């Protein structure tokens, strides 16, 4: 049976990594890369570090406004599909690449092509967030939905998605993270940056809603400078963030805060795992922090991962400068609070790749495009 996977950004590569070699073994499997991310440090380094084979087809789309980017990926992806068409197209997550793949697959439904969505059902409930729009649209047209947590099923149910197509699997990022943490043990990454274990913080932020508005980005930047007066902060800069900081005149030279190029996965996981805490707006990083038992100050007002806030390891701080400073001060100076945060029981579900593969194997043959329920 023929399958096609479309990916194109850093998080998609990381989260699909445990599945791709297994899909190669079990199926005639074509891997297509959209080219949404294209620089070595946002793309190729992850293929190398995670020992993934190169994509069979590269669409080389690059950066554009969202509509153009999505449209170009659709056009080139459709043209790149093999003949005869695959039985299924897999997409992961909530990027423009994933949306483009989903829309192409949905249009081929009448020709028997099924759409499989990995990391379905997660919601921030922020209707303005580009990723939330992408997720909802993808889930609406998916034939098979792999959902990280039970609570994500509830999101789908409320939106009227047929739950017989949805399976709770856990999130593949857990396996990516733990395998990489094992590899990184001897790397001494903090020492390479002159940092001592538990005596520094790591910060990443790149979301459009975090970095594209000057007051928010400035507040986070100033909060980081304040945190940097208590302990060193290392900031691997996403290209979008670098661009917006330049536009708003926020300098890269700041005492206590070191801005660096984006890191590879092994270094990132090693740095995160030995940090005192992280500050981030990334969905992937909050999961990785939870898996490694590292507290996160989440630079957002909502999260798709409420379970980590509820269990007490992560805190939502938004872009509120005083809140970020206060929460960071507690994690640095209040040893009791810090110890408690490091030792809470974190609900981490293992084994997502295996559950996904088994379900795929069991379900693919039986799925047929379904009629919509009548109104
Ligand atoms: C995308 C995803 C987001 C994901 C993030 C991870 C969407 C809507 N958003 O956001 O969900 O969390 O990736 O990184 O799909 N750029 C480079 N080099 C690269 C890639 C991008 O310099 O390799 C620059 C481009 O100038 C571009 C900017 O980064 O303007 C943003 O890239 P874009 O593809 O728009 O999305 P991300 O912000 O990375």
**pLDDT tens digits for range 159-182:** 999 999 999 999 999 999 999 999
Mutate to test the pocket of ligand 1, among 8, 36, 280 (most ligand atoms within 8 A of CB): 36
Q: Do 138 and 364 contact (CB within 8 A), yes or no?
A: no
Q: What distance in Å separates the CA atoms of residue 225 and residue 250, rounded to the nearest whole number?
A: 11
Cβ atoms of 284 and 11 within 8 Å: the answer is yes
pLDDT tens sequence across 97-125: 999 999 999 999 999 999 999 999 999 99
Establish whether residue 37 lines the binding site of ligand 1, counting it when its CB lies within 6 angstroms of any ligand atom: yes
Average pLDDT over residues 64-86: 98
Question: What pLDDT, on the 0 to 100 scale, is given for residue 172?
Answer: 98
Is the Cα torsion angle 132, 110, 21, 39 positive or negative in sign? negative
Q: Indicate whether 373 pLDDT > 80.
A: no
Q: What is this structure's pTM?
A: 0.95
Ligand 1 near 369 CB (within 6 A): no
- How many A from CA of 344 to the centre of ligand 1? 33
CA of 238 to the centre of ligand 1 (A): 8
The CB-side HSE value for 115 (13 A sphere, CA atoms) comes to 27
- Annotated catalytic residue, options 206, 238, 274, 305: 206
- Helix (H/G/I), strand (E/B), else coil: 311: coil
Ligand 1 in reach of 242 Cβ (< 6 A): no
314 assigned to active site: no
Cis peptide before 84 (omega within 30 of 0): yes
pLDDT at 186: 85
The answer to whether the beta carbons of residues 77 and 300 sit under 8 Å apart is: no
With beta carbons less than 8 A apart as the criterion, state whether 34 and 73 touch: yes
Contact of 267 with 187, CB cutoff 8 Å: yes
63 lines ligand 1 (CB under 6 A): yes
By C-alpha distance, which of 96, 141, 87, 151 is closest to 117? 141
> Over the stretch 316-333, which tens digit does the pLDDT of each residue have?
999 999 999 999 999 999
Measured in angstroms, how far is the CA atom of residue 337 from the centroid of ligand 1? 35
Percentage of the chain modeled with pLDDT above 70: 97
Q: What mean pLDDT is predicted for residues 73-86?
A: 97
- What is the average pLDDT score of the chain? 95
Q: Ligand 1 centroid to 206 CA: how many Å?
A: 8
124-138 mean pLDDT: 97
Burial of 104 (0-12, 13-18, 19+ CB in 10 A): buried
Hey, which bits of the chain come out as E strands?
2-7, 28-33, 57-58, 88-92, 114-118, 144-147, 166-168, 201-204, 233-236, 253-254, 257-260, 277-280, 296-298, 314-316
239 lines ligand 1 (CB under 6 A): yes
Choose which residue among 95, 103, 207, 287 to substitute to test ligand 1 binding: the one with the highest number of ligand atoms within 8 A of its C-beta. 95
Q: What percent of the chain has pLDDT over 90?
A: 94
Distance 240 CA to ligand 1 centre (A): 6
| Closest residue CA from atom 38 of ligand 1 | 240
Q: What angle do the packed helices 352-364 and 173-184 form, to 10 degrees?
A: 140
Report the nearest-CA residue for atom 22 of ligand 1.
Answer: 239
Residue 374 has pLDDT above 80, yes or no: no
Summarised one tens digit per residue, pLDDT across range 274-319 is 999 999 999 999 999 999 999 999 999 999 999 999 999 999 999 9
CA dihedral for 140, 145, 151, 154, sign (positive or negative):
positive
């Amino acid at each position: 049976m023929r399958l096609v996977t479309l990916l194109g950004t850093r998080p998609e590569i990381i989260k699909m990594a445990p599945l791709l070699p297994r899909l190669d073994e079990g199926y005639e499997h074509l891997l297509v890369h959209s080219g949404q991310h294209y620089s070595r440090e946002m793309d190729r380094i992850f293929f190398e570090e995670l020992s993934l084979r190169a994509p069979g087809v590269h669409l080389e789309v690059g950066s554009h406004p969202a509509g153009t980017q999505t449209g170009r990926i659709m056009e080139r992806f459709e043209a790149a599909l093999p003949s005869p068409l695959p039985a299924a197209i897999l997409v992961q997550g909530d990027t423009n690449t994933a949306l483009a793949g989903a829309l192409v697959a949905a249009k081929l439904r009448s020709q028997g092509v099924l759409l499989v969505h990995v990391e379905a059902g997660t919601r921030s409930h922020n209707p303005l967030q580009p990723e939330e729009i992408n997720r909802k649209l993808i889930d609406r047209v998916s034939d098979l939905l792999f959902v990280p947590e039970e609570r994500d099923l509830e999101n789908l149910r409320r939106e009227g998605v047929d739950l017989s197509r949805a399976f709770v699997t856990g999130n593949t990022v857990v396996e990516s993270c733990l395998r990489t943490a094992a590899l990184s043990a001897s790397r001494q990454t903090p020492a390479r940056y002159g940092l001592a274990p538990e005596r520094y913080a790591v910060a990443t932020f790149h979301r459009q809603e975090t970095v594209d508005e000057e007051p928010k980005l400035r507040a986070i930047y100033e909060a980081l400078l304040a945190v940097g007066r208590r302990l060193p902060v290392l900031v691997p800069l996403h290209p979008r963030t670098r661009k917006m900081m330049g536009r708003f005149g926020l300098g890269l030279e700041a005492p206590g805060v070191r801005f660096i190029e984006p890191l590879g996965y092994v270094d990132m996981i090693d740095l995160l795992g030995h940090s005192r805490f992280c500050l981030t707006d990334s969905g992937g990083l909050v999961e990785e922090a939870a898996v490694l038992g590292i507290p996160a100050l989440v630079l957002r007002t909502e999260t798709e991962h409420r379970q980590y806030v509820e269990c007490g390891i992560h805190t939502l701080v938004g872009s509120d400068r005083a809140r970020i400073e206060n929460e960071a001060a507690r994690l640095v100076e209040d040893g009791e609070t810090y110890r408690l945060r490091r030792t809470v029981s974190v609900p981490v579900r293992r084994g997502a790749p295996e559950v996904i593969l088994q379900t795929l194997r069991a379900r693919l043959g039986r799925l047929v495009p379904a009629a919509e329920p009548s109104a």
